[in-house]
Amino acid sequence: MSIVAIVGRPNVGKSTFFNRLIQRREAIVDAISGVTRDRHYGKSDWNGKEFSLIDTGGYVVGSDDIFEAEIDKQVELAIDEADAIIFMVDVESGVTGMDEEVAQLLRKSKKPVFLAVNKVDSANRLHDAVEFYSLGFEKYYPISGINGSGSGDLLDDLVKVLPETETRDDDELPRFAVVGRPNAGKSSFINALIGEERFVVTDIAGTTRDSIDTKYNRFGFEFNLVDTAGIRKKSKVKEDLEFYSVMRSVRAIEHCDVIMLVFDATRGFDGQVQNIFWLAERNNKGIVILVNKWDLVEGKDNRTTKDFEAYIRKQCEPFTDVPIVFISALTKQRIFKAIETAVEVFKNRSRRIKTSQLNDIMLPIIQTTPPPALKGKYVKIKFCTQLPTPHPCFAFFANLPQYVKEPYKRFLENKLREHFDFTGVPVTIYIRKK
């Protein structure tokens, strides 16, 4: 698919315009400058032509700020990747020195550049936009990212220069979300996997703010990897910006197939990591636990891994059938094993068992160990089937379903896990009236 990058200095409205074009509120928008840090991808179409859109962080020349230096790197990568560039400026501020620096960078790129003068919300501001001719581009487009005015003319000219490409629907691809606390190494893990500095990584907690998709193909299996912002306790979230970041991460969990829960081995499997684990379990997602920074754990011997694994499983009771992989994003230790395990969990979550096979295995077990009698009533289960749901759900049909309690449901679940591979996937048991 053709790629269009939106670039400009901080706070000119790039993310607002990006959200309008993809018709979803994906990128966080705030009055604070420098909210966007990573390259953020979305899909848009105009006049029947689809293209991929990149929202970038604001470009700042010669700053000492650690984030701004990293953001500039991301912007330069986006420019290299793009077939066309929307250069966004702000009519309220007029032409600034930073705009001139960005214009110079874009002229060097030899890519088609469309100068979009944003925040032209009224006819009075149309006259103010004339000064942007000084940036040396043949034409400018007065637009408003908020209400969309003027964007049609810009997009008409933009799609004319885009190369013809085949389109295909990426929404059908499985989604694997990388989640965890701030600073657990989520972005470093994805950068190590894809072999490029796709995400900004610093020692400062909360570097990633948006939930961002990356297409990935490994082991003959294609899927979307989603990097998310770190999730902290509600009481620790002080600013609006972080609140929205956490909301995006929770939404990423709700809309994915498999959760890769990354936590820092030096901090342990603490309460907040467990909260994220149970959030994924409640949403019936496949789960892989990744113990990151394992290279930093001192005094390891042949028992350390087993003991640590036993400790994690103890915290996850009663859902203990979860794969645990010890990794290091820095040294790339076992990172591909982590992806391979996530692919297996996805296959387990999609597993379908024939009704005849299910009954042949489960009914003899139920006959040998029936549900306990209650108030002199005996429960008889005569039939079971898997329900057509995205995750494994089974219905057992009984004469008195109200007398089958949770411990017996857990017994049925354990027997299902013994005979069929549902590792890493929550299994739901329903007892219904036959």
- What residue ranges define each of the domains in the chain, with the CATH number in brackets? 2-161 (3.40.50.300), 175-350 (3.40.50.300), 355-433 (3.30.300.20)
Contact 12, 99 (CB under 8 A): no
Cβ 102 vs Cβ 132: under 8 Å = no
pLDDT at 415: 92
- For residue 378, give Cα distances in angstroms to 398, 399, 400, 430, 431: 10, 9, 8, 18, 15
Which two structure tokens, joined as six digits, stand for 291? 């113990």
Short-list 379, 370, 373, 362, CA closest to 413? 362
The answer to whether the pTM exceeds 0.85 is no
* DSSP summary character for residue 88: E
Angle between helices 271-282 and 304-316 (to 10 degrees): 60
Q: Read out DSSP for 16-41? A: HHHHHHHTS--S---SSTT---S-EE
Binding-site annotation: residue ranges: 8-15, 55-59, 118-121, 180-187, 227-231, 292-295
Secondary structure in 3-state letters for 390-413: CCCEEEEEECCHHHCCHHHHHHHH
Q: Which residues are annotated as a binding site for GTP?
A: 8-15, 55-59, 118-121, 180-187, 227-231, 292-295
Residue-level pLDDT, tens digit, the chain, 434 residues: 678 888 888 888 888 888 888 776 545 444 444 445 445 667 788 887 888 787 777 666 555 555 555 666 667 777 777 888 888 888 888 888 888 888 888 888 888 889 999 888 877 788 888 888 888 888 889 988 888 888 888 899 988 888 775 544 445 678 888 887 777 777 788 788 776 554 444 444 444 444 445 667 766 777 777 766 656 544 444 444 444 455 656 767 777 888 888 888 888 887 778 887 888 888 888 999 998 888 777 767 778 888 888 988 888 888 888 999 998 888 888 888 888 898 899 999 999 999 999 999 999 999 999 888 887 888 888 899 999 988 899 999 988 888 888 899 999 999 999 999 899 899 999 988 87
- pLDDT value for 192: 81
Integer Cα distance of 433 and 293 in angstroms: 50
For residues 430 and 394, the answer to whether their CB atoms sit within 8 Å is yes
Q: How far apart are CA 201 and CA 185, in angstroms?
A: 8
The tokens for 198 are 């796709």
